[in-house]
Structure 1
């Protein structure tokens, strides 16, 4: 039986692992799978076989071009949900893999003339096979490394010439920072432009066997934006592009200002490397990371104070080290920065006297503010159920046994809140999507929703620095991007779980696609988080194999 492309990609990834540099005791990168030597480990057995499952995404046969009507886009306001699942071909046998949009629908347009592809990991040849055969667009990649030179196999010169391929390098000063943003900006022959913000790398594995989501602007015409929300999004995106300090992207930012963003009714939440002052943020100032989350909550009047019980959920594919550890206690991004921002009363504490929370105070904060935190991250048993075997775990990273700070973080700030990756439509596809949700106690209503590239790390969200009185300085190391949807007095956000169409929507209510079960289920006492360095014991995957763990 022929092995699937995603299966082969996963096996190749583990086979190429080699021993990492020694891990700093209190610093872990915001990891994604990559070829970077500082993020790799050695597999104890690089000959592990992945399952022979259905053909995924490509074959030796020539692809049939998509019909134009299949990928014709409409305004985002006409989508049933602003967030869309991306198809997961590894789940086709289960009858749910084709729910969502395909990579072809995102990029295979006959009238595509230019595309800017922002991403972390890019398989160039794989991406180019999804360009429409009758299109000849100029393709520009933006990444943290020069994929045209550092790629495993040299890119065929004929493709470099045909598509005028270019790679722009994002500047990264922090060794653990990364260019983690995943965005497409596409231009068409009719003069329109489309923005796609997603969670997927441009690889066979990401589009073949992992759970992913995206937001699409729809095709935007040239013109002047006439609505406040569209103007704000346009301005925020322009400022983010200029953060790169690359002339071509500054020009791209100027070009986007020629388009009409009136139809866009969401917010942009970005991270960009730098040092920022939270105490000087206003509704219109340029700010990133957790400062940006604060700004969005502030200008949409979404701060959650004591009163009715709430729930706050972070669903991620990576959990990095605590940003502070001392005397047996630790402070982590979700528990000690994001939660206190969300449940903050700026009128009572204008100088952020409790941000971040001091180590050891998280449980008291929950009681005082009447909320329940959840962290959805796959357990080892969740990964064992992957349709592509243990290889599906390469997208999920969490070290919690190797140093005392990591052990403290796990026991104090992570383990009590961990929930399984469970989904009726994506259970067999490990998550690479990331979401942050604020809802009511019963999860039948959301106060706001964020789909993003941010994992739980200080590199992505930022971390506090020692500051003078009246300042709250924080530092960000990575580029990240997400879409934030606020509720308003005139509209409610209703979670659309597992593609459920039976929602009680009224008026301007908006369904929000959520790719996992709600309410989430906490780990059982026997569950442990997936970590590539930890062996699975007697637990086997879909092929009947155990996971030996990776060498430190």
Structure 2
């Protein structure tokens, strides 16, 4: 009996997978289930496949898994290089741009990004799309070459409304945000870590935050996430954004995102943003929380694709070790009383304070060796920047005094992606107690808070408490019951197989291994693109 049930389940799964991949072209009227991704294809949704061979128990189990679609989720951006054209691994962890854009129901899509390669991007859309609004920095939108233009591309190109933002030198419109509106009154929001170019989408590891389905309807109560997004849109002070985007967002009910916060950076001088906003939100969330136990260790992790220069021209001061972590832990106040300045302690003072107060900072940044041992070696390195050769003492301070650098565990990476670095940006806090077993894999399993964002570890992206950011950035903040009194935030790595039932409980998923491991003292060095400029 057990064998028959297993056999039936296997057959049912094969049938379901066959019809999930079925594509119907309205023009050619032929089956294209052989993997041909036509731009005008109508994709049969998995929810439309009815499996008549399922038992009642199997249906209940499937419904429990499907319930996770009502929650915000993290997905890996599928790569043509690592996963190939065919689905491999846990398909539930993967998403493509076609999954986001090639939907026959999608009528309007609003995109914010730093770079657009239109020849690549527009091929991801379904032909039914009625309007594409692109918000981008002037000079970062690569047009379609005349020789690449075809009828399908020309049709989609006519539906673009372009809003260009002029930025000063060394500043970026760096936000990565997608707002989709569908023909049934639904809306979904996506925060990808990649800009919209073919190589950036496929070469580094990329991740995407996906909102649950939001409805266009009257909202019963205010939602912080919505308030933050509206303030962010207003910060542009651009009429087209106010009229074409802001009004549409105001009509969306953000109730499913009531437990999350929208954290952003803007160069607008009329509202707080960046580090000042992030710090204020953490202070609000921690109000009334019990003081940490004396035997607890506080872990603060920053995973980034770029590390900025020193905060000071005179002293070696890093944004994470010298300002953000000291602010978050109360080592320094937000502002020196009676002034508009922030006091930044000296390195030796901080090293001592961290040791005494059991505070451990981490910066996850790729090593030279991680590129050489990755499947495509240095092909993905152009998206990772830390120009420490200009000031070696700054790098030595971070590496030797704080011992802050960590990398992926090479024994835990996936076979397909290996040690390929992630282009994502995560900032998180975790607490462990000395009475608990010393298990490195558990350090970031439960989180007090986690920010997934487009903001790299730089003053340009974050500003300081007293200085405005220079970039536009955006992210989503998760926070736990220890701060908000509502729930725990758990974290897992895409490099580890999902455990049974975990889909209902994991809030955050990261594209690097957990645990991360410290740099090898003998040989590991941070990757520096400048050292390879002549190659």
Task: Work out whether the TM-score is over 0.5.
Answer: yes
Q: Residues 258-315 of structure 1: CA distance to partner in whole angstroms, max 9, x if unpaired?
A: 1111111311110111457xxxxxxxxx421111211221222278867311111100
User: CA 1:409 to 1:66, structure 2 compared with 1: closer, same or farther past 3 Å?
Assistant: farther
Alpha carbons 2:269, 2:468 under 8 Å: kept: yes
Matches of 2:36 and 2:184 in 1, distance apart? 33
| CA distance in 2: counterparts of 1:528 and 1:223, whole angstroms | 53
Q: Structure 2 regions of 5+ residues with no counterpart?
A: 1-34, 49-64, 433-442
The residue aligned with 2:162 is 167
Q: Please report how far the alpha carbon of residue 495 of structure 1 lies from its aligned counterpart in structure 2 after TM superposition.
A: 1.6
Which whole-Å CA distance do the structure 1 matches of 2:322 and 2:46 have between them?
45
Structure 2 CA distance for aligned equivalents of residues 88 and 521 of structure 1? 25
Match of 1:52 in 2: none
Alpha-carbon distance in structure 1 between the residues aligned to 2:303 and 2:459: 16
1:372 to 2:372 alignment? no
What SS is found at the alignment partner of 1:89? coil
Instruction: Identify which of structures 1 and 2 has the higher relative contact order when contacts are C-alpha pairs closer than 8 Å and 6+ apart.
Output: 1
Structure showing greater Rg: 2
1:532 aligns with 2:525: no
Give the equivalent residue in structure 1 for 2:326. Answer: 340
Shift in Å, 1:435: 0.7
* CA deviation after TM superposition for structure 1 residue 160, in Å: 5.8
Change (3 A) 1:215 1:287: same
Task: Tell me which residue corresponds to 1:359.
Answer: 346
SS at match of 1:250: helix
- Asked if 1:245 is matched to 2:246, the reply is no
* Contact map agreement 1:491 1:509 (CA 8 A) in 2: no
Question: How many angstroms apart in 2 are the aligned matches of 1:414 and 1:343?
Answer: 21
Partner of residue 204 from structure 1, selected from 185, 188, 198 = 198
CA separation in 2, counterparts of 1:424 and 1:486? 27
Query: Relative to 1, partners in 2 of residues 1:505 and 1:430: Cα closer, same or farther, differing over 3 Å?
Result: closer
Q: Please name the residue that 2:279 is paired with.
A: 294
Do the aligned residues in 2 keep the contact of 1:421 with 1:427 (CA within 8 Å)? Answer: no
Number of residue equivalences: 449
**Could you say which structure has the higher helix fraction?**
2
Query: How high is the TM-score relative to the length of structure 2?
Result: 0.76
- Counterpart-to-counterpart distance in 2, 1:189 and 1:167: 22
The residue that corresponds to 1:468 in the other structure is none
Give the alignment of 1:135-534 within 5 angstroms: 135-147=128-140, 151=143, 153=145, 156=149, 159=153, 162=156, 163-173=158-168, 175-228=169-222, 231-251=223-243, 252-264=245-257, 265-275=259-269, 286-301=271-286, 307=294, 308-326=296-314, 329-344=315-330, 349=333, 351=335, 355-360=342-347, 361-402=349-390, 406-414=391-399, 416-422=403-409, 424-425=413-414, 426-441=417-432, 442-463=443-464, 473-488=466-481, 489-497=485-493, 498-502=495-499, 510-524=506-520, 525-534=522-531
**Cα deviation per residue 1:151-175 (whole Å; 9 max; x = unaligned)?**
48368496466442232122323x1
Question: What secondary structure sits across from 1:205 in the alignment?
Answer: helix
Partner of 1:121: 115
Residue 95 of structure 1 and its aligned partner are, at CA, apart by: 4.5
For residue 283 of structure 1, what is the aligned residue in structure 2?
A: none
- Segments ≥4 residues shifted beyond 6 Å: 74-77, 503-506
* Contact 1:77/1:263 (8 A) holds in 2: no
Instruction: Note if contact 2:40-2:126 (Cα within 8 Å) is conserved in structure 1.
Output: no
Alpha carbon RMSD of aligned pairs, Å?
3.2
Quote the residue 1:545 is aligned against. Answer: none
Partner of 1:68: 44
Q: CA deviation at 1:515?
A: 1.9
Deviation at 1:477, TM superposition (A): 0.6
Q: Is the 8 A contact 1:182 1:197 kept in 2?
A: yes
SS at match of 2:181: strand
Q: Is the 8 A contact 2:304 2:457 kept in 1?
A: yes
SS at match of 2:509: strand
Q: Where do 5+ consecutive residues of structure 1 fail to align?
A: 1-58, 277-285, 464-471, 535-548
Q: Distance in 1 between matches of 2:137 and 2:399?
A: 30
